[in-house]
Amino acid sequence: MSSLPKSRNCIKIKIQSCCPSIGPNTSSPTTACFINRWTTEVLPFSFPVSIPSTRKSRYPEIVQVYYNDKNSINRIYPFFDVLSQYEARMDIPSFNFYYMADAKHNPDHKSLWLSEPYVDPAGRGWMISAISPVYFKGVLAGVAGIDVTINLITQRYVLDNPKCMTMIVDNTGAIVTAQENVINLLSFPPLFDHKYIETIKQDTYRKEVYNLRLSKTAEIRRVAVDLLEKHKSWMEAEINGEKVTFLSVLIPELNWHLIDVIQ
């Protein structure tokens, strides 16, 4: 492989690629992996444009941008030590941020949101993503994506207004994020960020214990039905002997509900 032109070599950015072992879908390192490494070599130079830490951005929530191909090659920015972070022989097409864009799950070949929080294999904790399939000659060649952490969403939309008791819930009833006082009021376990004790080997989602629909309290289950199924904009319920008002606003792009809780 020839070296990059001098104009690119002078940029003080190390190109990082991950072909973490050539996953099970790869034919051979010499054909699939290295050819695709060459064809995607230019991508890391365009990725920094999307990251607010490198230049001004209209979307400061974006923390990561990447391109994954069908052979488990991963081009990602910002750079990090992929060999220590990723599982050896990681099969990228088996993860939601790839297969949800394939023809089976996305027959219209559209860009889409992965709105159910999942644990990021790249080490950034709970994450949602916007992904877009890349087709070549009618075949899915790879998937491009941007990542937004739940931590940033929490800081900007939940904790930024301490006078309100706020939570965000997805359409299934699962709590995406919430203020601690809301979690305590509704008797859910504390929400913690993910601790990376080992590498991520498969899709990892929040446990069912954080779902309003599955609460042990009948009134909380009724709140879920009224706000999520009947699409009420407000309702009252008796929680722990107190009358509580819930105000709900739909976030249509993600099918989430932003809910203010008033005691």
What's the CATH number where 253 sits? 3.30.450
Which of residues 150, 179, 213 is at a domain's end?
150
Residue 103 lies in a domain: yes
Number of domains in the chain: 2
249 and 142 share one domain: no
Long-range contact set of residues 26-34: C-beta below 8 Å, sequence gap at least 24: 26/71, 26/72, 27/71, 32/71, 33/71, 33/73, 34/1
168 and 222 share one domain: yes
In 3-state terms, what secondary structure has residue 124? coil
200 and 128 share one domain: no
Please list the residues that pair with 64 across neighbouring strands. 147
Task: List CB contacts of 95: < 8 A, sequence separation 6 or more.
Answer: 121, 202, 203
Q: Per-residue pLDDT tens for 110-166?
A: 999 999 999 999 999 999 999 999 998 999 999 999 999 999 999 888 887 767 899
Which of residues 104, 125, 150 is at a domain's end?
150
The model carries a pTM of 0.78
Residue 156 lies in a domain: no
191 and 233 share one domain: yes
Q: Per-residue pLDDT tens for 28-72?
A: 444 555 545 545 555 554 555 555 554 555 677 888 999 999 988
pLDDT: is 219 or 36 the higher one? 219
Domain extent at residue 42 = 6-150
Judged by phi (left if over 0) then psi (alpha if -120 to 50, else beta), residue 149 lies in beta
Residue 155 lies in a domain: no
Task: List CB contacts of 108: < 8 A, sequence separation 6 or more.
Answer: none
137 and 10 share one domain: yes
120 and 30 share one domain: yes
141 and 166 share one domain: no
179 and 88 share one domain: no
Residue 170 lies in a domain: yes
Q: Which of 51, 91, 44, 48 is nearest to 69 (CA)?
A: 91
67 and 127 share one domain: yes
CA angle 136, 41, 78 (to 5 degrees): 110
